[in-house]
Amino acid sequence: MSTAQLPSTIPGADHLLLRGATLIDGTGEAPVAAAEIEVRDGRVVYSGPARETAAAGATLVDLSGKTILPGFIDAHVHFGMSIEDQPADAGRFESERTFRAALNARKTLMAGVTTARDLGGLDRGYRDAIAAGLIQGPRTHLALVPLSPTGGHTDFTMPNGRAVPMHMPVDPIIDTDDDVRRTIRLLVRSGADVIKVCTTGGVSSPSDTPDDIGVPEEHVRLIVAETAKRAGQPVAAHAQGAEGIKAAIRGGVRSVEHGYGIDDEGIDLMLEHGTFLVPTLSSALRVPDPAAVPGYLYEKKVKWSAIARERVAAALAAGVKVALGTDSGVCPHGENLREPVHSVELGLTPMQAIVAGTKNAAELLRLDSDLGTLEEGKLADFIVIDFDPLEDITPLASPDNVKVVVQGGAVVKDTAAWFDSAPVRPRLAQ
């Protein structure tokens, strides 16, 4: 993915020198105490131990006692959705839904997520508006719609034939080879960064279950072949039941989303193919209020949360490559860094969880040449906190504990006023 596809047009400080914080750079290497990070024109030009001579002309910010991490990447969000708000949303004007999606994007940025992948529900106007600085939000990759066959996970039709309004920008139903080819071409024309397919049913859909097969393996292969003729858009598979997970991997997807019921054979296939797992634990482990969701959804949620807790933990223990994603919209927006906390709960170390939400997620999105770690040449996306997440990662779950968010060198959140009232604020002498 080229830098041209990573616009960061919100003006930021042109030259910053951050000193004194502990640096966790996202590579998985040991933290650097009393580190120094130099940012010029939105990019990191130095990151490591403090140097004897300060960079001339930089604005110095003293962050002694704080911790700096890369901006997190949430690889699975739905800004335009809130599953417990669907009845009210059905009566809203499109304009209000747009504003609510923009608010969800801003909440996500303020939680410490500087890049996100929306896997269904938004058209490219949202991505472009964020890139142009019209609204605040993470840099956004879009799937536009998740694809499934008739009766599958994204066939939003009740058994009585009544459609449930989900406001997808493109018809998500693919049943034939011709449907597949035409829909993929339409999605690419419409600006999709990633193609999402549903190889199983799901928890939130009314007419199927996670064990049902959705898009079959042969159609996954056809989709992968079709995208290879364009920009090679990666394919992400909503896959929850064991057989659909294996069909997705064999078909050539880049990532399995959810993976709740993955069996040992599926784990072996993921390791063999290098497939990413995006386990969406913030959604998987959360059982909603039964009064707030349909009965079928609540019953499936109770069952599959227990399955996910066991089987995702097995996949993590086996060493599958993990990128973090929340499935926000099915869980609350703006609590995105609860995901690394959950991943530690299921077996990752805090450092592994941080890498999964930064370096690995950037690799999944094909943005690792610009994002994911705080290394020389990368875009200056980072957060500042006042605790040690390697000692206790739990405070990350609260967005209030993310004191500073910097995106492309621009300070977009500074609740502690560390950048406004740092002990040494004036520019250093030339």
Angle between the 217-228 and 242-251 helix axes, to the nearest 10 degrees? 30
The residues pairing with 128 across neighbouring beta strands, listed in sequence order, are none
Residues 359 and 376 in one domain: no
What is the spatial distance between Cα 368 and Cα 266, in angstroms, rounded to a whole number?
26
Would you give the distance in Å from CA 233 to the centre of its chain? 16
Residues 59 and 99 in one domain: no
pTM of the entire predicted model: 0.93
Residues 189 and 284 in one domain: yes
Provide the domain limits for residue 235.
Answer: 72-364
Domain membership of residue 426 (yes or no) is no
Residues 378 and 314 in one domain: no
Q: What is the pLDDT of residue 13?
A: 57
Residues 293 and 335 in one domain: yes
Collapsing DSSP states into helix, strand and coil, what is residue 340? helix
* DSSP label at residue 148: B
For 368, other C-beta atoms within 10 Å of its C-beta total: 17
Residue 274: pLDDT band (50, 70, 90) is very high
Domain membership of residue 423 (yes or no) is no
CA angle 404, 405, 409 (to 5 degrees): 120
Domain membership of residue 419 (yes or no) is no
Residues 125 and 36 in one domain: no
CATH number at residue 256: 3.20.20.140
Residues 215 and 230 in one domain: yes
Q: Which tokens in the block code for residue 194?
A: 């990633």
CATH number at residue 379: 2.30.40.10
Residues 66 and 142 in one domain: no
Instruction: Of 311, 321, 211, give the one whose Cα is nearest residue 262.
Output: 311
Instruction: For tokens 């499936």, name the residue.
Output: 300
β-strand pairing of 72-77 with 404-407: unpaired
Domain membership of residue 197 (yes or no) is yes
Q: What is the DSSP string of 216-258?
A: -HHHHHHHHHHHHTTT---EEEEE-SHHHHHHHHHHT-SEEEE
Residues 132 and 77 in one domain: yes
Domain membership of residue 430 (yes or no) is no
The residues, ordered by sequence, that sit 6+ positions from 91 with a Cβ below 8 Å of its Cβ are none
What is the spatial distance between Cα 397 and Cα 339, in angstroms, rounded to a whole number?
8
Residue 75 — φ and ψ, nearest 5°? -85, 5
Domain membership of residue 424 (yes or no) is no
Tens digits of residue pLDDT in 7-25: 333 333 589 999 999 999 9
What is the spatial distance between Cα 45 and Cα 358, in angstroms, rounded to a whole number?
19
Amino acid in position 402? V
Residues 283 and 404 in one domain: no
CA angle 201, 207, 209 (to 5 degrees): 35
Residues 294 and 328 in one domain: yes
Residue 429: pLDDT band (50, 70, 90) is very low
Domain membership of residue 345 (yes or no) is yes
Instruction: Of 79, 127, 125, 123, give the one whose Cα is nearest residue 104.
Output: 79
Residue 173 — φ and ψ, nearest 5°? -85, 125
* DSSP label at residue 163: B
Residues 320 and 174 in one domain: yes
Tens digits of residue pLDDT in 203-243: 988 778 999 999 999 999 999 999 999 999 999 999 999 99
Instruction: Of 119, 219, 199, give the one whose Cα is nearest residue 152.
Output: 199
Q: What is the pLDDT of residue 83?
A: 77
Q: Is the pLDDT of residue 297 over 60?
A: yes
Q: Which of 118-132, 282-296, 386-400 has the lowest mean pLDDT?
A: 282-296
Domain membership of residue 63 (yes or no) is yes
Collapsing DSSP states into helix, strand and coil, what is residue 360? helix
Question: How many domains does one find in the chain?
Answer: 2
Q: What is the pLDDT of residue 206?
A: 78
* DSSP label at residue 358: T
Q: Is the pLDDT of residue 327 over 50?
A: yes
Tens digits of residue pLDDT in 161-212: 877 766 788 899 999 999 999 999 999 999 999 999 999 999 988 778 999 9
Strand extents, DSSP E, 341-396: 382-385
Q: Is the pLDDT of residue 421 over 50?
A: no
